[in-house]
C-alpha cells in the first residue's frame, strides 16, 4: 500500500478520506461498509467507535483486514461479557 499522508472522517459525506503521498484521495463510504458487514447494533457501534476515534485504523481494517472476522471477535465478545442483570 502507498504511504498515507492524512486520514480523517468527513461528517458531511460520512466517509473516511485518505490522502496518499502521490496526491490520490481515497474515500471510504462508511454507511455502505456498515450495511455490508455489520449485522447488529453492537457491530455498528464498534465500527462507529473506530470511525470517530481512530479513522486510520478503520481505513486499514477495511482496506487490508477482514472486517467481518474483526467484528465477530471484538464486538460480539465485548457485548456478551456485559452482565445485564
**pTM across the whole model:** 0.83
How far is Cα 78 from Cα 75, in angstroms, rounded to an integer?
5
The predicted-structure confidence for 9-33, as pLDDT tens digits, reads as follows 999 999 999 999 999 999 999 999 9
- Which regions of the chain does DSSP assign to beta strands (E)? 4-10, 15-20, 25-29
Segment 36-48 mean pLDDT:
91
The pLDDT of residue 49 is above 90: yes
Q: What is the domain partition of the chain in residue ranges?
A: 4-80
Share of the chain above pLDDT 70, in %: 87
Amino acid at each position: 500500500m502507498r504511504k498515507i499522508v492524512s486520514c480523517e472522517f468527513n461528517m458531511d459525506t460520512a466517509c473516511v478520506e485518505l490522502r496518499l503521498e502521490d496526491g490520490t484521495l481515497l474515500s471510504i463510504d462508511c454507511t455502505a461498509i456498515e450495511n455490508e458487514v455489520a449485522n447488529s447494533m453492537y457491530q455498528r457501534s464498534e465500527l462507529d467507535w473506530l470511525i470517530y476515534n481512530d479513522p486510520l485504523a478503520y481505513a486499514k481494517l477495511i482496506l487490508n483486514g477482514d472486517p467481518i472476522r474483526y467484528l465477530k471477535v471484538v464486538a460480539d465478545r465485548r457485548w456478551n461479557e456485559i452482565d445485564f442483570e
